[in-house]
Structure 1
Amino acid sequence: MTLASEVELEQEGAASAAHAAPVVFIVDDDVSVRESLQALIGYAGLTAETYSSARDFLRRPRATVPNCLVLDVRLPDLDGLELQNHIASQRAEMPIIFITGYGDVPMTVQAMKAGAVEFLTKPFDDEVLLDAILLAIERSRAALSEAAGMKVLNDRYASLSRREREVMALVVSGLLNKQVGIELGISEITVKAHRGQVMRKMNAVSLADLINMAQKLQPGRTSPAVLEKAA
């Protein structure tokens, strides 16, 4: 299988995951709340999974489809804010909607600053919750798509030889082929050959495209002036 074919398969797989049927996770120690939320979410045409504690939820393997978490603040083991901190570092593609019967302003501010989509105090309007869930799922979908795109990009970069990476780094920094050759102690013809391989393996259609890829792989390594020149 050619590199191009492998990349196409990776991209198809990434698109498939990002557009797969979403799932809504519910973590609340009150069984009546779990059951009512599961019924509401199911009625809206979405799949829901329920858990009675943060630790039970964390035992579940990481989701690979668009998802979100409806989370009670007060739980018997880890509280909701502690679970939010864990998710932020381990499952960044999982937006959180907090629900609570004991919310206060400092708690709400802390949760929202940490990236919560919504903080709802019981009893809340069903439509408000469903709107928040749909927004959270779209955020998750976008995050999964971006992560999958970065994996494809990293895989392409990993396919480069050491010399091809050296050439790529110098080319995207703004050096001409002749200057790259002098820097690396190789001929200009050899630089052109390596540069062609880099463009092919990275699936770059232009120098500007390659520079944008380098920016994603190593932010800050190419200057705005180089980007403007390549555009």
Structure 2
Amino acid sequence: MQEKKYQQLQAFVYIIDDDASIRDSLEDLLQSVGLEVKKFESTYQFLAHAHGALHGCLVLDVRMPEQSGLAFQKQMQALDIHLPVIFITGHGDVAMSVLAMKRGAIDFLLKPFKHQDLIDAIQIAMQKDKQRVMLELEQQHFHTLWNKLNHGEQEVIKQVAKGCLNKQIAAQLNLSEITIKVRRASAMRKLELNSIIELIHFLEKIK
């Protein structure tokens, strides 16, 4: 189900570089291998167009007039932007690359770089972003199922996950054992679960 939902999302390679010729050449390269591209001349222009959830990856120039790529990478978490980053630069050094990688960059490529090196890095970045989105979709699905339960069913199922027997739960909640059985069965059906192991895994996911 999550795979189908992911396929409905649009993933892009977002290129941010102040050099128009580089933006255009990268767009041609990436479109030639079937990738969807959006390009921007600055991080500010990118943010002006970045509405809603973003999927894909970011190809980011290190040195730009208005804001450097490294400064933007540092800011991304606060902006709730979780795209994997690939840096490209014509003036990089070891210190820059180490800092970028420590902050989670996928790669740090010096211009001129091999086209295949960039494509390989982008494929890694796109797969990493897909894993992140798939996890989010799974958690959303689990929370949707959990919210189908009424309060009483939630209370019962939490005790079931702790290993409590129906008789024990009935005593704890001051209810009849038959009521516990009914709520337990209803909750498991709504959650689409078949075993205690599945239930424990489910509850861990919605914490």
TM-score by length of structure 2 reads 0.90
**How far did residue 63 of structure 1 move?**
4.5
Aligned residue identity for 1:62: G
Aligned residue identity for 1:134: Q
Aligned residue identity for 1:61: H
Which residue matches 1:62?
52
Conserved 8 A contact 1:19-1:141: no
After superposition, residues 191-202 of structure 1 pair within 5 angstroms as 191-202=180-191
Aligned residue identity for 2:203: A
Structure 1 residue runs without a partner (length 5+): 1-10, 219-231
Aligned residue identity for 2:35: L
**How far did residue 105 of structure 1 move?**
2.2
- Pick one of 11, 16, 21 that aligns with 2:4: 16
Whole-angstrom CA distance in 1 between matches of 2:139 and 2:98: 32
Whole-angstrom CA distance in 2 between matches of 1:104 and 1:160: 56
**How far did residue 107 of structure 1 move?**
2.1
Please identify runs of 4+ aligned residues in structure 1 that moved more than 4 A. Answer: none
1:84 matched to 2:93: no
After superposition, residues 74-223 of structure 1 pair within 5 angstroms as 74-89=63-78, 90-92=80-82, 94-218=83-207
Whole-angstrom CA distance in 2 between matches of 1:61 and 1:112: 26
Identity %: 38
Whole-angstrom CA distance in 2 between matches of 1:76 and 1:197: 61
Structure 2 residue runs without a partner (length 5+): none
**How far did residue 135 of structure 1 move?**
1.1
Whole-angstrom CA distance in 2 between matches of 1:71 and 1:53: 9
User: SS state of the match for residue 49, structure 1?
Assistant: strand
Conserved 8 A contact 1:62-1:91: no
Which residue matches 1:5?
none
Whole-angstrom CA distance in 2 between matches of 1:76 and 1:163: 59
CA 1:17 to 1:76, structure 2 compared with 1: closer, same or farther past 3 Å? farther
CA 1:76 to 1:160, structure 2 compared with 1: closer, same or farther past 3 Å? farther
